[in-house]
Chains A and B, each alone.
Chain A
Amino acid sequence: MNRRDWLRAMVATGVLVLLAPLRALAAGWNKPAFEAHNVGDALKGLGISRVGPSRDIVLIAPDMAENGAIVQVEVESRIPGTESISILVEKNPTPLVANYLFSGGAEPYVITRIKMAESSELKIIVKAGDQFFSVAKQVEVALGGCG
């Protein structure tokens, strides 16, 4: 191995070492956001600051849920350039329920079944570019579903 090859190898290794933790970070579960005990801290964990209301987010959830263990939530964003949809339940012990990232032809649409500990506001946050939009709905829960 001559000097030039050696240098190349060193540079290649260095790049790999630098990339590895970045990739691990990107693949990591967002613990600060998901373990936050209030909506504000959860949003901070997601890197969300200014959120504006939007009429272009369709949220379908029951007005009244018999069983808080299974509440079906349907979300469709009509905001151009939607990248992600986050679902939060304000009064759950940990409000952030799910965060969906869309790419490669996925429509900004999702149906998920979630747990609600008690009657609460259900909050949806949509990320489009560097902007955040939200819509909320109050859901009354007859029997709490967070064991």
Chain B
Amino acid sequence: MADLIKMRARLKDGVTEIRVLMSHPMETGRRKTDMGEIVPAHFIQWITATLNGHVVLEAQWGTGVSKNPYLTFRIRGASIGDKVAISWHDNRGESNSGETAVEAA
């Protein structure tokens, strides 16, 4: 399950841009299968991003975020080698996390 989160953090001119791609179905609970059965809601509800263990971004999501969510955010004051981590939790109680080191752009 190592590939549920892909991420990269690049530092340029004092600002680190972090790009994250998460593997998740993000089912709204309104979609029907070809057989007419409703697919139960299954979506990420919150995201936490940390820089060296300190929270920098917290997000709450609804069902309106696209499947396999993509996220870009920026932090100021990070240095090369600093650790940026992301974790998500969904409505079924599942969770996952990923970590990367800040590199030069």
Contact = CB atoms under 8 A, between A and B. Distances in A.
Contact of B60 (A72, A99, A106): A99
Given A110-B71, A147-B28, A69 B64 contact: no
Contacts of B77: 105
Interface of B: 15, 27-28, 30-32, 39, 45-46, 49, 51, 54-67, 69-78, 91
A105 B73 contact: no
B54 A112 contact: no
Contact of A107 (B39, B59, B70, B75): B75
B60 A105 contact: no
Interface string A84-125: 000001001111111111111111011111111000000000
A98 B57 contact: no
Given A94-B63, A97-B61, 20 more contacts: A29-B46, A69-B67, A71-B66, A92-B64, A93-B28, A95-B64, A98-B60, A100-B59, A102-B56, A102-B57, A103-B56, A105-B75, A105-B77, A107-B76, A110-B72, A111-B71, A111-B73, A113-B70, A114-B65, A114-B66
B105 to A, nearest CB: 15
Contact of B64 (A29, A72, A89, A106): A89
Nearest to B43: A34
Contacts of B56: 102-106
A74 B73 CA distance: 10
A104 B54 CA distance: 7
Given A97-B64, A100-B59, A103-B55, A110 B69 contact: no
A58 interface: no
B64 A115 contact: yes
Contacts of B71: 110-112
For this complex, into which size category does the number of interface residues on chain A fall?
35 or more
Contact of B74 (A71, A106, A112): A106
B15 A107 contact: yes
A115 B71 CA distance: 14
A113 B55 CA distance: 22
Nearest to A147: B31
17 contacts: A72-B70, A98-B62, A100-B57, A101-B58, A102-B56, A103-B56, A104-B54, A104-B56, A107-B75, A109-B72, A109-B73, A111-B73, A112-B65, A112-B69, A113-B70, A146-B30, A147-B27
